[in-house]
Structures are given as structure tokens and as C-alpha cells.
Amino acid sequence: MRTFWLPVLGLSLIALGWIGCGSAAFAQTADATEKEIERYRAMISDPMANPAFLNVDRGEALWSLARGTKNVSLQTCDLGEGAGKIDGAYAKLPRYFKDADRVMDLEQRLLWCMEAVQGFDTKDIIKRRFSGPGVVSDMEDLVAYIAQKSSGAKFAVTHSHPKEQEVYAVGEAMFYRRSAVMDFSCATCHSEDGKRIRLQGLPNLTKPGKAVQETMGSWPTYRVSQSQMRTMQHRLWDCYRQMRMPIPDYASDGITALTLYLTKNAEGGEILVPSIKR
């Protein structure tokens, strides 16, 4: 027995040595890849190289376009800073709106203004909520324009109204809620430091600090892999899809709750949008 186990033990120690070397090599490869990704992002960070600024231009035109049965533009819409005022508004969303008696994110608020202020039928807007081949999204364009007006500002969502506190609590519960066939939650991927999926870093979004600030501060973004500009609504929709959970309704209260939880965690973080990602 002794003669048998010693060689096996030796082989095991050798194997462990190779595993250790392999782990170190993988870490070095991952770090090198991350540096190259950052270098690539820096190369295309100039507004003239970011296609999302085309969305910004289209969104500016849509903001001032009179539509609906009332034939008025969205310049009469109050995003929290007063009718038509958009500078810095994105940095304070989601927030409670007294006229609607609801906590809303930007896309929810825009839909509300289209219906209540413009008298506009939003069925087609919702149908084209996400862009794709041959499909232009008014909402993505508007979000790009409005969010860009907060670029350089810092997140400062309020948490004083009882409904904001309630919605934040709902968002936190949703973040940790495991469900569906894979028994996943947002926290499965985003509640620990140093996690990766393949070579993609997975930021810890549960604690205030750099990781969640940089993550939330980079949306909306242009996704090179999709050749489209994407909003936080799309990011969360796609996360639920990948977790094999029921697809959430567009501009739902649940998505707003989750967004408020994440944005509150990112408080004080700088907004630099539209960004560009792989």
C-alpha cells in the first residue's frame, strides 16, 4: 500500500504544481487581454469615432419635434428639473414624480410624457424600443441625447420620498432573487470581487465604490458586437434573457426598481456617456 500511494501522491503534487502554473498563466493572459481592451476603448473614445453620437443627434431632433394629438414637443416634458430642462436630469433618475405619483426611470418618464403631455400613441415606440437591422429606436436616440447632457455630472439620486425608499427595497430584493431553470439572480454574477465569465470581468455591484460607479456611469453605450447603441433597459432585459428568466416588460416598475438600486449604489460616480463597449 505504501509503495502504491507514494507515487500517486508525487503525481498529485506535480499535477497541483501544473495547475498552479496554469492559473498564474491564465491570470497573466486575462490581465493582458484587459489592458488591450482598455487600449482599444481609448482609441475609439473620441466622439468622432463613436457611432452613438449619431443617436445623440437624432435624439436632439426628436426632443424638439412636435407630435401627438396636442402637437407639442417633448420640450414641455419635466424630467425632474423643470419643463424642458435636461442638463443634469439623467444623473438624478430614477426619481419620484408627483404628477404621475410614481418613481420612474428615464424611459418610463419619456413614455409618460409622450402619452400625457403630447397625446402620442406609444405603441410603435414600444415596438421599436430596441434597435436592430432596419429598425431605428426613438427611445434609444432620446436616451442618448438626454443622458449625454449629464456627461461629466455625478449620480445623485434621491432617497427621501417613501415611494423611492419602497422602490429601492424592491430593487434590492430583485437583485438577490434566484429564479427560473438556472436558479440564477443578478447577485450570482455581480456580488463578489474578481469574478469573470470567460475573459469578461464581472463587476461587484452590491457595494458602493469604483466598480458599480464605472459600470452605471457608462450606460447608455454603443455595443460594437451588436453595432447598436444600448440603454440600461436593454442591458437588464438581456441579463434576464441570459438567466432564462421570464422577459420583463419594457419600462416596467420592476426594471425601474432594479435600476434605482444600482444607481443609488453608484452614487457619486461620474457619468461618461455615451460610452463604447465590445
Contact call for residues 98 and 106 (beta carbons, < 8 A): no
Cell 461587484 belongs to residue: 204
From residue 120, alpha-carbon distances to 42, 86, 144, 242 in Å are: 40, 21, 21, 33
Pick the closest to residue 106 from 155, 37, 173 (CA basis).
Answer: 155
Bridge partners (DSSP) listed for residue 195: 202
CA atoms within 13 A on the CB side of 2: 0
Torsion (CA) 174, 175, 180, 181 in degrees, nearest 10: -170
Phi, psi of 53 (to 5 degrees): -75, -15
Tell me which amino acid residue 56 is: V
Q: Among the options 21, 77, 113, 239, which is catalytic? A: 239
Pick the closest to residue 129 from 142, 116, 119 (CA basis).
Answer: 142
Q: How far is residue 269's CA from residue 256's CA, in Å, rounded to a whole number?
A: 19
Q: How far is residue 105's CA from residue 256's CA, in Å, rounded to a whole number?
A: 6
The question of whether 77 is a catalytic residue gets the answer no
Pick the closest to residue 264 from 175, 152, 148 (CA basis).
Answer: 175
Cell 420640450 belongs to residue: 75
Q: How far is residue 209's CA from residue 53's CA, in Å, rounded to a whole number?
A: 28
Active site residues: 239
